[in-house]
A and B are shown apart, each in its own frame.
Chain A
Amino acid sequence: MKEQEYSQDNWDLVIRSKTHWLSLNLRELWRYRDLLMLLVKRDYKASFKQTILGPIWFFIQPLLTSSVYAVIFGRIANISTDGNPRLLFYMAGVIMWNYFSTCLTATSATFVTNANIFGKVYFPRLIMPFSVVISNLLRFSVQFLFFFGVLIYYMMKPDYTVHLTWAVILTPLFLVIMALLGLSMGLIVSSLTTKYRDLAHLVGFGVQLMMYATPVVYPASFLQGKWKTILELNPMTSVIEGFRFAFMGSGEFNPMSLFYSIGVTLVLLFISVILFNKVEKGFMDTV
């Protein structure tokens, strides 16, 4: 769609048909940073203006989901929670998974949601999925504060051994990994949906399946053998286990596995940005 060259002729912009497969223009992306922040602000304002239920839902959703999990997986299936209070254990998994999955689903719909605006004005398309990831951070923060409140409540009760560990300083890293992982997987899906529209219907289902392959409703210690291997291959595992270790002092958190997650994330990010950049150029002609 664009190729900016600063050639001898001193043209500011040269538009051509073919662009290099790796023509990611970071300078231009940076120039549009105000747009990124304004889009985040828009999402934030719109979600508060539309309904009062919106912000309340921020709290109710993780609370309800965690309670349901606590009953089904905790009480009925009697799955271990590594000795943690059930509500807290599931809530940690739920708010983390929520952030990852909304990043993934929302960015996977980039072209569908923005078809109209992409057809009428040019700006670096990556701004849109980036803004989604940042906007969702707001919701995560609110839910995290809520989680923290519940955590303090349980820390003061003597019958549990819930405690913070040094790993809390890794929290920003956990967030960045989740955001980039959700973003890259979402971008890959969005690129594929330009060819196969019905893939969009599978996203929700796929995310659901992936959740069961991640220690959200059970601790990593719950699985053994070849199932364990699958769990270890999942880059989200170390993030969620790490988060639980950081705030509750339990679980199997191995800092080395975090490096694995970072590696997978970077590879996926690279692939997804290239793929997105490639389809982005032809997309507008096919709607």
Chain B
Amino acid sequence: MSKSVLIAEDVSKMYRLGLVSTKSLAHDLNRWWHVVRGKEDPYRMVGEANDRSSKGESEYVWALRDINFSIYEGEAVGIIGRNGAGKSTMLKLLSQVTQPTTGTIKVRGRIASLLEVGTGFHPELTGRENIFLNGAILGMRKKEIQRKLDEIIAFSGVERYIDTPVKRYSSGMYVRLAFAVAAHLESEILIVDEVLAVGDAEFQKKCLGKMGEVSKGQGRTVLFVSHNMYAIKSLCTRAIYMQNGTLKNDGNASLIVDQYLSGYDSMDTARAYQNNLSEKAVYLEKAVCQNAVGIEKYMFTADEPVRIVFTVRKKSPVRGVFLHFVLRNYEEVAILETDSREGGYPEIDTDLEGNFTSVIEIPSRILRSGRYHVSVGIRSEQHDPAQIESIASFMSFDVLADKSPRDARRNSILSTILDWKDAGRLEI
């Protein structure tokens, strides 16, 4: 085995949620003045008193608990886990943005980390000036940047605008330039958080290719967080699976990804939408995603249909109500639009009150892999704005391309299977 370049020993990180201090000098002085006069603390929350059990639970959160691993030279390691599992926190500790509460991390060589694209970019400066500034923020010397400048500009693909202030860049160009800088850092270890999700499909591919080159070609060590299971499988030799701040599993990338996809984590029920308070006469109370057999989940494979269940509450007898559904992809491009009148949903239309449930099902093999955002509008044919609501991108689900590598090679917005009919052969 080659030598280890990064070792984490019993690493834990605790965050404190509600801080004891009110964070205000005026409040603290006022509190002191009340206490001096024997009065009650004016800032104590109602119900907080002596309730130690609930207090203890709410004040601290272990974002990471006793993490142990070691990474060897030249490895490409994918870190997976659902939102809140502690992936970003782990990377923050490695890149020294924050300190571990307990434990030790030992590193050999320099770490370049990309937790967010374009940190420290200044809108007034040109692309070229920002390359220098951003490179220096990420720890490069000016000489190094100078040496890599042409390569960075070429990779970013924004040569034509390199002397234009970046405030005029599109968000895509911005991301390209920022990733280009980080990818060309001269470091032994490259750490990348879930940042590529913002670029377009082609650029994502380019970035993944670059990371592959960094690890396989240059023998540098790469650690990256991604929800793109196909990328993890194809790029990484190893994956670390995190769950609730602990390291659940660590091993061969394919095996770990399969375990992750088949497990509870793909359900991630926190992504459901729930709204119990609204002054509107008609409003969306609940929305969830389900698979074909009605199990709530938010990560689907391309071979599964996606079912979306909306529960609408009608507090007064409004007539002519219908739902208008829009599905957008990660670039917020609307790719699907439909309204409930198409299906003919009689009851919500009438003047009955109560909760109404509507279900739509997006068939399997329509959506390509990626993240999708659900928007819904509750409309009334009477066009009364007081009664209707529009909720944009309030819920998201992911389609993963784990089973079909073909999907990842296609660039189209939809990735459907069409019925290719054989129209016969003609003798010539």
Contact = CB atoms under 8 A, between A and B. Distances in A.
Interface of A: 1-2, 9-17, 19, 31-32, 34-35, 37-39, 41-42, 45-46, 49-50, 116-123, 195-199, 281-282, 284-286
B120 A121 contact: yes
Contacts of B94: 15
A197 B24 contact: yes
Contact of B25 (A12, A196, A282, A284): A196
Q: Which 9 residue pairs across A and B have the least CB separation, nearest first?
A: A122-B96, A35-B136, A196-B25, A15-B105, A13-B107, A34-B142, A11-B106, A120-B119, A120-B116
Contact of A120 (B19, B26, B97): B97
14 contacts: A2-B96, A9-B106, A13-B107, A15-B94, A15-B105, A32-B139, A34-B136, A38-B132, A45-B124, A116-B119, A120-B116, A123-B137, A198-B25, A281-B99
B107 A38 contact: no
B29 to A, nearest CB: 10
Given A17-B102, A196-B21, A198-B26, 13 more contacts: A1-B99, A10-B108, A11-B108, A13-B106, A15-B94, A15-B99, A16-B100, A17-B99, A32-B136, A35-B137, A38-B142, A196-B23, A197-B23
A202 to B, nearest CB: 8
Interface string B74-104: 0000000000000000001111111111111
B72 to A, nearest CB: 15
A123 B124 contact: no
Contact of B97 (A34, A35, A42, A122): A122
B165 interface: yes
Contact of A121 (B28, B100, B115): B115
A98 to B, nearest CB: 24
Given A121-B113, A196-B28, A285-B98, A49 B136 contact: no
Contacts of A34: 136, 140-142
A49 B126 CA distance: 11
Contact of A199 (B25, B97, B165): B25
A116 to B, nearest CB: 8
B38 interface: no
B24 A45 contact: no
A49 B165 contact: yes
B129 interface: yes
A16 B93 CA distance: 10
Nearest to A16: B104
- Which of A31, A34, A281 has the most chain B CB atoms closer than 10 A to its own CB? A34
A200 B252 CA distance: 51
A39 B133 contact: yes
Contacts of A282: 99
Contacts of A120: 97, 115-116, 119
B5 to A, nearest CB: 9
A186 to B, nearest CB: 18
B395 interface: no
Nearest to B120: A117
Contacts of A50: 124
Contacts of B137: 35, 117, 121, 123
Interface string B122-133: 101100010011
A39 B96 CA distance: 21
Contacts of B264: none
A195 B107 CA distance: 32
A15 B106 CA distance: 6
A127 B409 CA distance: 45
B89 to A, nearest CB: 10
A120 B125 CA distance: 20
